[in-house]
Amino acid sequence: MAELQFRQAVREALDEEMERDENVFVMGEEVAEYNGAYKATEGLLDKYGFRRMIDTPISELGFAGIGVGAAMNGLRPVVEFMTFNFAVLAADQIINHATKVRYMLGGQVKVPIVFRGPNGSAGQLGATHSVAYDSMYAHFPGLKVIQPSEPADVKGLLKSAIRDDDPVIFMESEQMYGLKGEVPDDEDFLIPIGKAKVKREGSDVTVVAHGKMYHVAKQAAAQLEKDDVDVELIDIRTVKPLDIETIISSVKKTNRCVVVDEAHPFGGVAAEIGYLIHRDAFDYLDAPVARVTLPDVNAPFAKNLFDLWLPSAKNVIEAVKTVTYNS
């Protein structure tokens, strides 16, 4: 095991897969000569050259389309967006082409492509740079959506995503690139796509989270432990396919659930998980499923307002007290 930063886990996964398969290449803005906007591709240009580390113009629709075409012709592109806020410009290629080509051609053509980059808010960057898009992409058949929370999950899931024969959205967080954690150094370390993980055993309430919100929920669980509230914490890791079985199994044990999501409430991941729990485990619930999300308003720029806007450990604690009738 080695202790790596989040960005280092991304780079290690890319390096190992590029070395393993010459069809894997990386393209995006500043990925090569600048070593990546977040230094997640540092050193890869020196090792693999300009043929497999390709800097692109600021034209998301253009280079996403090149990636889709390359995947259809047998290559395995990893397309980096500087942020998924900018990937909206490439939505036509992702949603109308990458996700549908294999289906429309009866399985004759595969589209093994990974679209990766930061998702969600990253501090005081304003409303147009602070959107969580995971539920939007999860809405469309043919796309797999991953948002890991810790370096080990980054490496294992990114390697699986690159080897997958279908398009994968791989979402990270700008605020987590410096996060450290232990990562297996096995070059064949893979985590199956679509498997959640119980990262904290508990008996009183199930808290479900992913991405940056996992760490908010983890902080809340530590504080609740001081009040003798035993939280079971689940990191879904993969938004789609969603491992609802692991969540349901936990809810049947704890009888209560809070879902934490860095997105707006309407039509979000938390809404879908809440529905599935009520559908599959209604008779086991001692309280309605609660969710902690962003308010239904765009991100403010002012720091005091931004801090109120983003879900916090305090919000999670209040939700847990509500479902355990301790408020």
Q: What whole-number distance in Å separates Cα of residue 116 and Cα of residue 139?
A: 17
Residue 171 near residue 134, CB atoms below 8 Å: yes
**Which one is catalytic: 16, 17, 80, 129?**
129
Helical packing angle, 269-281 and 244-254, nearest 10° = 60
Is 129 assigned a catalytic role?
Answer: yes
CA–CA distance, 110 with 321 (Å, rounded to integer)? 48
- Measured distance CA(2)–CA(78) in Å, rounded: 24
How far CA 167 is from CA of 231, 240, 265, in Å, comes to: 35, 12, 26
State the Cα–Cα distance between residues 263 and 273, nearest whole angstrom.
13
Can 60 be counted among the known catalytic residues? yes
Q: Give phi and psi for 176, each to the nearest 5.
A: -110, 0
Residue in 29, 60, 172, 232 annotated catalytic: 60
Cα separation of 174 and 147, whole Å? 12
SS3 79: strand
Whole-angstrom Cα distance, residue 107 to residue 322? 48
* Contact (CB, 8 A) for 277 and 296: no
Catalytic residues: 60, 129
